Structure 1
Amino acid sequence: MNIIVVGLSHKTAGVEIREKVAFAPTQMAKPLNAVVSLPDITEAVIVSTCNRVEIYATTRDIAGGMARLKRFLADYHNFPLETLEKHLYSYYGVDATRHVFRVASSLDSMVVGEPQILGQIKTSYGYAAEYKSSGLILNRFLHKAFSVAKRVRTETKIASSAVSVAFAAVELAKKIFGELSDKTVLLIGAGEMCELAAKHFINVGVRGVMVTNRTYERAEKLAEEFAAKPIHFEDLFDQLHKADIILSSTGAPHFIIGGKDVEEVIRRRRQKAMFFIDIAVPRDIDPKVNDVENAYLYTVDDLNGVVASNLEQRKIEAAKAEAIVEQEIGQFFKWLSSLEVTPTIVALRSKFDEIRKAELAKTISGWKDLPPDGQKKLEALTNAMMNKLLHPPTSVLKNPEQGNRTDLYIDALRNLFDLETAAPEQDGMMELEE
């Protein structure tokens, strides 16, 4: 049984393609049932996010299974296969395992180290479990992917440093103030960057958020989204003293906050520190603000420097994470190969033992002067011979270094000795370390 992956991501397809083959997360029963109804597809999990759509499946027919999954994606979404196919990638075996472990560990994400993808895969697996499209192999496979991702986050610092300007702003604020739970944030502007910053500041637990914009309705809209307080732009300097952290990102052609303005605000705050983050181009805040005592000003260039440094650090940590993934691939394949190896070995021994016992019974039945302990000795002799004969093929099958040749040996043994093997029970199989 082979694990296969067919899908596309931000690396192979633009959003205009990805959105056409996306699956609604609350309506997964129909597509999951359709996939496992395909010929030779026994298990399936569908992962659909804003940046990727992937199907993880098990099959004995690798090439056929991949072709059927590609056709399914095209047909299900009424999308021409010849157009879709050039955006698709497909993996099987070790490559499929490596790909999914890397995806779960956020090594394949647009922003390496982001935590969202692991939760998204867990949600996708939850739907597969609910609708019974996953089984023994994908259950173990996905749980192993989750444990790999946990190892990566525990043993590396891949997610510990900010790699977006908005998040870098929050990290700098934490360095200046330490605890942010008693701080108020003022956002000047209501664009995408301010929205991202609002999310990050709220996630770290600031006391409150205020929003102002030249168009008050836009300030109201953003404020409503984050339970913040909207402020009329003309009231900015009446409210500025209430903010500990000010992030400005407007399209103004000139400075909207000057050094003298901040001197007055700091006096009004009785010298309590203020942190200004100017990510506008052209700049919103006069550089002279940095000369004001207890005022700290960072520009987009300062933040970009932090981001660049952190990206380099993440590359180092990503290399460590890749090594963890490679280690875990070997563990998983040791278990996966046991699904085929163990029942084959059991069937082979049973076949030989059945023949041994039958021939021994015939020999003993015609042996009139057999000594009292003769049957016991013959039993031991034939059993020892059988064990010696079966030791070499058993050792070869159990050797993980055989790689893909193990499948050839299993098929050869089954054909040569006409073996019938039953599907293994999960509890009886080799356990993986979690």
Structure 2
Amino acid sequence: MDIYLLGFNYQTAPLEVRDKVAISRSQLKQYTAAAGGLAGVAGAVLLSTCNRTEYYLACNEKERLKSVLLEFIRDYSGLSLETLSRYSYERTNRQAVLHLFRVSAGLDSMVLGESQIMAQVGEAYEVACQQGTTNKVLNGLFQRAVQAARRARSETFIDRYPVSVGAAAVDLAAQVLGRLQGHTVLVLGAGDTSELVLKHLVANGVATVVVANRTYARARLLAAEYGGSAIRLDDFLKYLACADIVISCTAAPGYIIKPELLQPLLAERQGRPLIFIDIAVPRDIHPGVGMLPGVVVYHIDDLQQVVCKNLDERKREAIKAEQIIGEETDNFCQWLKTLSVAPVIKALQKKGQDLVTRELKRVLPKLASLSDKERKIIISLAGSLINKMLSTPIINLKAACQDEQVYGYCDALRYLFSLDDEQAAIKREEVF
């Protein structure tokens, strides 16, 4: 059995193509089930995010699958077969495994090392399980893809350096304050960047967050989602007395914080420093604000330097993560090869267990004087002996899966141990 991948991503296809081949969350179940029913497909998992749509299929005839799959995508996307073929990519077997493991670890993402993709891979697999379109091969593939991503994240720091301006602003705030717990942050603006800032503030344990926006309804909605409070943008000056840091990211056409507005309020702070982080373009904070006593202002250029530095750090960590993903890919491919001999191993273990059960039934009645504890020891010993006796041949058989001689070894085991031919049948098609 082969693993076949066909996909479109931000590296190979323009946005207008990605838009049309993308599958929404509400459509994912329907299209996963449909892909699983295509001719020649034994299993299907569909991964569709803002930057990629990928079909992972288990099949027996991968050579004929591309045309079948492209026709399927043509029917729902409205794109021509020529366009789909031009902007798609294929991977098979080991290369498909490596690709998925790299995707799951964030190594193939537009934002290197981003962590959201691991959850998206898990969700795609969960939908396929619900639709009954997975099999043993795809189960192992996606379970190990998530495991590989977790290992890459736990053994490297690839996702611990903020590479978005919003995340970098929160990271800077935490550095300035020492920690965010117990502090109040005022966020000016309620757009996408503000939402990202709020997400990272909450993740870092900020005590209190206040959202100010011209459209009050939007401020309330965003504040409620992240456990904060909302105010109108015109009222934000009243809250500066209690704020420790102000992160400003409005879409205002000019400065909304000027020295003459701020100066009268500084006395209310009783000498407490006030930190501004201005990530708006154009800037929200007048350059003169940074000249006021007790006020420090950071601009987006300061954060861009942090982002560039952090991206370099992620690239260094990515080298380590790639090594881990390579190891996990090898481990999975080795496991996949052992599926071909799994029936022989199962039959051998059953033969051993049947022997233990039969002999215990024969011997134990003759040892009526034994205590319950002694009987349990003998039963445990018998099982342990047979497991240890079979352990070495099973380990060696798995190791031999890389070699065509493995089939000869299986034949020998079937003959020597009189294994049931049907139970111990070798699934040669499982090996790629």
| TM-score class, shorter | 0.7 to 0.9
Amino acid at match of 2:129: A
Greater mean deviation of Cα atoms: 160-169 or 263-272: 263-272
Instruction: Report the Cα offset of residue 63 of structure 1.
Output: 1.7
Deviations 1:64-85 (A, max 9, x none): 1233222222224443322222
Relative to structure 1, is the Cα distance of residues 344 and 81 closer, same or farther in structure 2, using a 3 angstrom cutoff?
farther
* Other-structure match for 1:287: 287
Q: Quick check: 2:12–2:87 contact (8 Å CA) kept in 1?
A: yes
Equivalent residue runs for 1:247-286 within 5 Å: 247-252=247-252, 254-259=254-259, 261-286=261-286
SS at match of 2:240: helix
* Other-structure match for 1:205: 205
Instruction: Report the Cα offset of residue 333 of structure 1.
Output: 1.2
Q: Quick check: 1:74–1:80 contact (8 Å CA) kept in 2?
A: yes
Structure whose alpha-carbon radius of gyration is higher:
1
Out of 395, 398, 401, the position equivalent to 2:400 is: 398
Instruction: Report the Cα offset of residue 253 of structure 1.
Output: 5.4
Amino acid at match of 1:198: L
Greater mean deviation of Cα atoms: 154-163 or 212-221: 212-221
- Distance (whole Å) between structure 2 residues aligned to residue 214 and residue 130 of structure 1: 44
- Distance (whole Å) between structure 1 residues aligned to residue 233 and residue 397 of structure 2: 78
Amino acid at match of 2:205: G
Instruction: Report the Cα offset of residue 327 of structure 1.
Output: 1.4
* Other-structure match for 1:50: 50
* Other-structure match for 1:104: 104
Q: Quick check: 2:337–2:401 contact (8 Å CA) kept in 1?
A: no
Greater mean deviation of Cα atoms: 240-249 or 302-311: 240-249
Instruction: Report the Cα offset of residue 312 of structure 1.
Output: 0.3
Amino acid at match of 2:170: V
What is the TM-score of this pair, normalised by structure 1? 0.75
- Distance (whole Å) between structure 1 residues aligned to residue 229 and residue 84 of structure 2: 46
Instruction: Report the Cα offset of residue 2 of structure 1.
Output: 1.0
Equivalent residue runs for 1:153-168 within 5 Å: 153-168=153-168
Asked if residue 79 in structure 1 is aligned to residue 79 in structure 2, the reply is yes
Amino acid at match of 1:68: V
SS at match of 1:211: strand
* Other-structure match for 2:134: 134
Amino acid at match of 2:49: T
Q: Quick check: 2:338–2:401 contact (8 Å CA) kept in 1?
A: no
- Distance (whole Å) between structure 2 residues aligned to residue 154 and residue 222 of structure 1: 31
Equivalent residue runs for 1:92-241 within 5 Å: 92-214=92-214, 219=219, 222-223=222-223, 226=226, 228-241=228-241
Asked if residue 4 in structure 1 is aligned to residue 4 in structure 2, the reply is yes
* Other-structure match for 2:302: 302
Relative to structure 1, is the Cα distance of residues 177 and 23 closer, same or farther in structure 2, using a 3 angstrom cutoff?
same
Q: Quick check: 1:341–1:398 contact (8 Å CA) kept in 2?
A: no
Q: Quick check: 1:257–1:284 contact (8 Å CA) kept in 2?
A: yes
- Distance (whole Å) between structure 2 residues aligned to residue 342 and residue 258 of structure 1: 73
Deviations 1:394-416 (A, max 9, x none): 9999263x6xxx59x97xx99xx
Q: Quick check: 1:341–1:397 contact (8 Å CA) kept in 2?
A: no
* Other-structure match for 1:319: 319
* Other-structure match for 1:32: 32
Instruction: Report the Cα offset of residue 326 of structure 1.
Output: 1.2
- Distance (whole Å) between structure 1 residues aligned to residue 251 and residue 330 of structure 2: 54
Give me the identity figure in percent.
38
Greater mean deviation of Cα atoms: 175-184 or 145-154: 175-184
Relative to structure 1, is the Cα distance of residues 299 and 138 closer, same or farther in structure 2, using a 3 angstrom cutoff?
same
| C-alpha RMSD over aligned residues | 3.4
Q: Quick check: 1:5–1:66 contact (8 Å CA) kept in 2?
A: no
What runs of 5+ residues in structure 1 fail to find an aligned partner?
348-393
Deviations 1:138-162 (A, max 9, x none): 1111111111101100111000010
Relative to structure 1, is the Cα distance of residues 224 and 346 closer, same or farther in structure 2, using a 3 angstrom cutoff?
closer
Instruction: Report the Cα offset of residue 4 of structure 1.
Output: 0.9
- Distance (whole Å) between structure 1 residues aligned to residue 187 and residue 19 of structure 2: 32
What runs of 5+ residues in structure 2 fail to find an aligned partner?
348-395, 412-420
Relative to structure 1, is the Cα distance of residues 83 and 267 closer, same or farther in structure 2, using a 3 angstrom cutoff?
same
Amino acid at match of 2:23: F
Deviations 1:110-134 (A, max 9, x none): 1111111111111111111122211
